[in-house]
A and B are shown apart, each in its own frame.
Chain A
Amino acid sequence: MSKNKNTYWKTNLKYLAILLTIWFIVSFLFGIVLAEYLNQFMLGGFPLGFWFAHQGSIYAFVILIFVYVYLMNKLDKKYDVDEI
């Protein structure tokens, strides 16, 4: 494997690690494990933990995918592996 492709893949893995950590935090942590603690804070009429479990995590998921697409398209171009 060329050195270039190696760094391309490593950067890809770094992006995945960061984005999937956020994915885990907003759903499993904020929406389940820490929900009871977060429920003491209010977001308008929503207790915060409840809001993450029923709304917030889903918005975060959508944003995560679009951020990933943006980062990867840039990375593909940089390492000249993008499609025509």
Chain B
Amino acid sequence: MSTQTWTYLLVGLTFLVYIIIAIVARAGSTKEFYVAGGGVNPIANGMATAADWMSAASFLSMAGLIAFMGFSGGQYLMGWTGGYVLLALLLAPYLRKFGKFTVPDFIGERYYSKNARLVALICALFVSFTYVVGQMKGVGVAFARFLNVPFDTGVLIGIGIVFFYAVLGGMKGITYTQVAQFCVLIFAFTVPAIFISLQMTGNPIPQIGFGSKGTDGVYLLEKLNLLSTDLGFDSYTNIDRGNLVNMFFITGALMFGTAGLPHVIVRFFTVPRVKDARISAGWALLFIAILYTTAPAVAVFARTNIINTLSDKPYSQVPEWFTNWEKTGLLSFEDKNNDGTIQYVADAQLNELTVDRDIIVLANPEIANLPPWVIGLVVAGGLAAALSTAAGLLLVISTSISHDLLKNYLRPDISEKGELYAARVAIAVAVVAAGLAGLNPPGFVAQVVALAFGLAASSFFPAIILGIFDKRMNQQGAISGMIIGIIFTTTYIIYFKPQLGGPGLPENFWWGISPEGIGTLGMIINFVVALLVSRFTSPPPPEVVALTERIRTPRGADSPSGQAH
């Protein structure tokens, strides 16, 4: 069977599974719609969290990004996993004990303020929406390349599928679909890596393979360093000293941002007990780590393969995959010195080969000559990653509107049935809006993802941490911290992002910190402002202090508030 047939077959099959699960696990109440009834098994929740978390970017772009960055690429690996330690230790168990549906719920009650809830709500909507548009675009790209449908049709198919299972199933349908999607995406990511690792090093475990000796008896990394420096690139494992401060801050912003992202936090409301929330974060990170420790191996294999197969080779003899990708414009060759061979070097004047880093994961199986079904599998995996993340984000958007805005802000007297109906309408509208934005993505979308992490780190993270660990924290402190943190971070990012119209130049970055990393500083500012302001204003009311005490121990959710101990 051809690659095309395999792709249709595997994508069709996986979609069928998602739809069947959605019908079986549809939601009947708001509690099922928002938090899957609060009865999800911690391991299943771990898988769902992992699928929710690993987006089209993790699956398709990250390994490629690392392949061209070398050592500095570690900022994504550490940044997008280290946040789970913070989640497990500092947030998940306490928020589960608090026992409501959303992050704005917690902010609103802990800081006894409707305005605090509104600030949190707007942040949650902004973060989730910018994120989801990128997923929709990822779905369109994957369809367009491998199913030979136009980009627009690809996005529309994606909207249709998500619409169906998210509107029908709510959190319950989404959770169980995500479990299936996790299995598809992790299988699709590791199988080609195992094949290639065997091919290149004889070791079936990619995590060990890329630190082993190749078929010629030389360590793979040593060979790659040599190949890279010969062509004028930086040595792959060498450390870029001038970039260390920036790498430190970006890693931090991604970690604290992860721990503050509403669509991740909300997953820990779905398990039955506090101890389940703790262990669930452990399972989630374990499942995420499978992909995140394989990705750097894939990066090394792909980078070595590209140099070996293409550098100094005659253009007339390039393999078939090269010609296929050339058609998409994501790979291009310009014979500057007219010698008919490919010069792939660091010097931009002489370099003749341009490789878009986004194609690395998709092209990797073809480069390594793997059978056609593997390529079909990778496409199904990429779609699973994009769809699962999109669904999780859309749910946060709909919950924010029906629960936080409608039920708790505008119309507190709404009935359970009315709220569930509103939630379904909200998610339907959100799916369509995200799809339309994905069809015609505003040029700034890729740029605002940095903003999403920066905002989550500089607004939610400190407000939640202080709400749990500092009994003296009051609404004045938390709100001023959030607002100053957000304003600082947003201003810095817009000022230094030319794509957002900012006039700032990289040489004027504060201490060399790029906009991607400024969320760390925004977070520190938030903490300092909140602590200072709270100490000079009135303490929180006794029932809020009692609430803070209550969430600190797992048992006794029903003990009356304000009771003297």
Contacts and interface: CB of A to CB of B under 8 A. Distances in A.
B211 interface: yes
A45 B220 contact: yes
Given A32-B251, A62-B286, A82 B555 contact: yes
B358 interface: no
Contacts of A79: 553
Interface in A52-66: 53-55, 57-59, 61-62, 64-66
Given A62-B285, A82-B275, A35 B239 contact: yes
A69 B279 contact: yes
Point out which of B211, B241, B289 has the most chain A C-beta atoms below 10 A from its C-beta. B211
Interface residues of B, number: 55
B116 to A, nearest CB: 25
Contacts of B221: 45-47, 50
B222 interface: yes
B553 A58 contact: no
Contacts of A31: 74, 78, 251
A55 B207 contact: yes
Interface residues of A, number: 47
A80 to B, nearest CB: 8
A9 B282 CA distance: 21
Contacts of B286: 62
B84 interface: yes
Interface in B321-366: none
B503 interface: no
Contacts of A66: 282
Nearest to B222: A45
Interface in B265-306: 273-275, 278-279, 281-282, 285-286, 289, 292-293, 296
B313 interface: no
Interface string B204-215: 000110111100
B556 A81 contact: yes
Contacts of A53: 71, 74, 77-78
Contacts of B85: 19-20, 23, 61, 64-65
B219 A45 contact: yes
Interface of B: 66, 71, 73-74, 77-78, 81-82, 84-86, 88-90, 93, 207-208, 210-213, 219-222, 237-239, 241, 244, 247-248, 251-252, 255, 273-275, 278-279, 281-282, 285-286, 289, 292-293, 296, 549, 552-556, 565
10 closest A-B pairs by CB: A53-B74, A45-B219, A65-B282, A45-B211, A54-B296, A50-B237, A46-B211, A81-B553, A36-B239, A65-B88
27 contacts: A2-B565, A5-B552, A19-B85, A19-B89, A27-B78, A27-B255, A32-B247, A36-B239, A44-B208, A45-B212, A45-B221, A46-B237, A49-B239, A50-B221, A54-B74, A57-B82, A58-B292, A59-B293, A65-B285, A68-B88, A68-B89, A69-B282, A72-B93, A76-B555, A81-B556, A83-B275, A83-B554
